[in-house]
């Protein structure tokens, strides 16, 4: 996939939707669904759908700048933080992306080993699966996106969808999984909103990289709806699968549970293919976008080198990672990126009204501010992160994501209403 200013607008709305469906079909998202077990089936599904609706809208809206102006995701933060100010979220995003890739590799290594336990040998080795999938992810990063290989990408994604239907048939079959009643359990509102943060954090984790791909789309509308439907629908689907398995078995590792079941009933090959394909299609955007974020730090860095280094780092970290830190990782993502993109969305859609005359993301024109830093944006970003943490720890009724997003955006709009529009040249 080309990392350039435009990279060629070769992606149709269907291609965008398929790409985001492939990203959403992830064992990590099945695992995340188990975190909602205390909500029960009814409220769990409501929280999943509401979280993906809210987070999905923010995700797709953040991609609009990339489609219209050809900007990469971290370049978009220059609007509110300045050219030099955008270096900080770029570095934090690299940390997040490598962390995500490592978590998914660690989870897939455990699942692959569980599925291959009956076969034995290398297939029962966690390290083997981590290295195999990590190597596949790196190969995918370097190959996917070129016109001549686009059809391979599409075929793999269609095969992944077919495997997901097979997985869903097993999960929804009462012969294998039947959640105990009652379906409707009492759930305090404050606790429900905190669980909602865990759902919103998933689409928000992709916000810092969506423009890296939406800039390759042929139309703004196609990119918006392709990403919204492709991601929100299939991510919700994965969450619900994890929730159902958790409620039926009490397992806090539903992905391993169901794929090991597939192996025991003679479906080991489809299960292994699902582990490999779902992780590769979910991990390659992390590695690719880490290279994009580093380009925003220093244009002299070579994407091929940075993809190789970050991919290898993710493989090493996956072997050392403790998965019990997963929930804290999701909350940390929300703390950093919810208020940041509240600023970006408020600035682009409300203050600038989607007009960026005089702004050149590549040259940095119109985004200089005070020695490259937009101090007000940096301060509001920090304040919004503090609000997120306060709302989480105090169990505020609206939760951390909604509270932080609303407070940060409203403060920014109030501040800009009393000032002249940001310089455009």
Position 1 scores a pLDDT of 44
Domain 13-417 has CATH 3.30.70.120: no
Average confidence (pLDDT) over 334-357: 90
Return the minimum-mean-pLDDT range out of 28-42, 257-271, 297-311.
257-271
Per-residue pLDDT, averaged over 338-367, amounts to: 86
Q: What is the per-residue pLDDT for 47?
A: 95
Q: Who wins on pLDDT, 152 or 57?
A: 57
Q: Pick from 256, 273, 302: which is nearest to 110 by CA?
A: 256
Average pLDDT of the chain is: 84
How many angstroms separate the CA atoms of 307 and 410, rounded?
A: 37
Task: Give me the residue label for tokens 């195999």.
Answer: 132
Tell whether the model's pLDDT for residue 6 goes beyond 50: no
382: Cα within 13 Å, side-chain hemisphere: 9
Handedness of CA 172, 163, 198, 346 (dihedral sign): negative
The two tokens of residue 290 are 């880490």
What pLDDT does 424 receive? 46
In this prediction, residues 376-398 reach a mean pLDDT of: 92
pLDDT in tens, 309-344: 888 999 999 888 776 777 788 888 889 999 999 999
- Which sequence spans correspond to the domains of the chain? 13-417
Q: Which of 9-23, 188-202, 220-234, 251-265 has the lowest mean pLDDT?
A: 251-265
CB neighbour list of residue 320: distance below 8 Å, 6 or more residues apart: none
Is the Cβ–Cβ distance between 26 and 107 less than 8 Å?
A: no
Residue 5, C-beta contacts closer than 8 angstroms, at least 6 positions apart: 70, 362
Record the tokens describing residue 67, joined without a space. 């489609």
The closest of 106, 55, 96 to 235, measured between CA atoms, is 55
Structure confidence by residue, pLDDT tens digits, 204-220: 888 888 888 888 888 88
Q: Is the pLDDT of residue 2 over 60?
A: no
Residues contacting 395, CB < 8 A, separation 6+ = 190, 191, 193, 194
Kindly list the distances between the CA atom of residue 247 and the CA atoms of 70, 100, 241, in Å, as whole numbers in the listed order.
44, 26, 10
Least confident of 148-162, 240-254, 381-395: 148-162
| 14-18, 221-225, 378-382: range with highest mean pLDDT | 378-382
**How high is the pLDDT of residue 346?**
94
Is 90 exceeded by the pLDDT of residue 382? Answer: yes
* pLDDT for position 92: 92
Q: What does the H/E/C string look like for the chain? A: CCCCCCCCCCECHHHHHHHHHHHHCCHHHHHHHHHHHHHHHHHHHHHHHHHHHHHHHHHHHHHHHHHHHCCCHHHHCHHHHCCCCCHHHHHHHHHHHHHHHHHHHHHHHHHHHHHCCCCCHHHHCHHHHHHHHHHHHHHHHHHCCCHHHHHHHHHHHHHHHHHHHHHHHHHHCCCCCCCCCCCCCCCCHHHHHHHHHHHHHHHHHHHHHHHHHHCCECCHHHHHHHHHHHHHHHHHHHHHHHHHHHHHHCCCCHHHHHHHHHHHCCCHHHHHHHHHHHHHHHHHHHHHHHHHHHHHHCCCCCHHHHHHHHHHHHHHHHHHCCHHHHHHHHHHHHHHHHHHHHHHHHHHHHHCCCCCCCCECCCCECCCCECCECHHHHHHHHHHHHHHHHHHHCCCCCHHHHHHHHHHHHHHHHHHHCCCCCCCC
> How confident is the model over 218-263, as pLDDT tens digits?
888 889 999 999 999 999 999 998 898 888 888 777 777 787 777 7
């Amino acid at each position: 996939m080309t990392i350039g200013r435009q990279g060629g607008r070769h992606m149709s709305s269907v291609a965008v939707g398929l790409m985001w469906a492939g990203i959403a079909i992830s064992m990590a998202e099945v695992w995340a669904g188990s975190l909602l077990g205390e909500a029960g089936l009814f409220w769990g599904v409501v929280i999943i759908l509401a979280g993906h609706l809210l987070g999905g809208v923010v995700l797709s809206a953040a991609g609009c700048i990339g489609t219209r102006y050809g900007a990469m995701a971290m370049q978009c933060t220059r609007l509110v933080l300045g050219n030099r100010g955008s270096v900080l979220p770029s570095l934090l995003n690299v940390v997040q992306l490598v962390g995500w890739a490592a978590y998914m590799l660690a989870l897939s290594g455990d699942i692959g080993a569980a599925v291959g336990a009956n076969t034995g040998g290398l297939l029962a080795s966690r390290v083997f699966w981590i290295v195999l999938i990590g190597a596949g992810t790196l190969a995918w990063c370097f190959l996917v996106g070129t016109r001549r290989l686009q059809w391979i990408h599409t075929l793999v994604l269609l095969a992944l969808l077919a495997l997901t239907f097979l997985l869903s048939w097993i999960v929804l079959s009462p012969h294998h999984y039947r959640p105990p009643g009652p379906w409707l359990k009492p759930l305090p509102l404050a606790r429900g909103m905190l669980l909602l943060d865990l759902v919103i954090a998933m689409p928000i984790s992709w916000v810092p990289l969506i423009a890296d791909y939406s800039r390759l789309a042929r139309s703004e509308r196609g990119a918006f709806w392709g990403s919204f439907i492709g991601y929100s629908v299939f991510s919700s689907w994965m969450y619900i699968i994890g929730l159902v398995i958790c409620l039926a078995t009490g397992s806090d590792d539903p992905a391993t549970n169901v794929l090991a079941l597939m192996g025991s009933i003679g479906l080991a090959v489809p299960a292994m293919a699902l582990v490999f394909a779902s992780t590769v299609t979910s991990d390659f955007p992390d590695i690719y976008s880490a290279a994009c974020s580093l380009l925003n730090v220093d244009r002299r860095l070579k994407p091929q080198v940075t993809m190789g280094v970050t991919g290898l780092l993710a493989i090493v970290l996956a072997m050392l990672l403790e998965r019990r830190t997963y929930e804290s990782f999701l909350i940390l993502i929300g703390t950093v990126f919810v208020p940041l993109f509240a600023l970006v969305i408020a600035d682009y859609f409300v203050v600038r009204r989607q007009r960026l005359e005089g702004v050149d993301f590549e040259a940095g024109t119109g985004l200089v501010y005070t020695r490259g830093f937009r101090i007000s944006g940096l301060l509001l970003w920090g304040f919004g992160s503090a609000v997120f943490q306060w709302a989480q720890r105090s169990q505020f009724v609206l939760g951390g994501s909604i509270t932080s997003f609303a407070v940060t955006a409203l403060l920014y709009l109030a501040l800009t209403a009393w000032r002249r529009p940001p310089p455009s040249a």
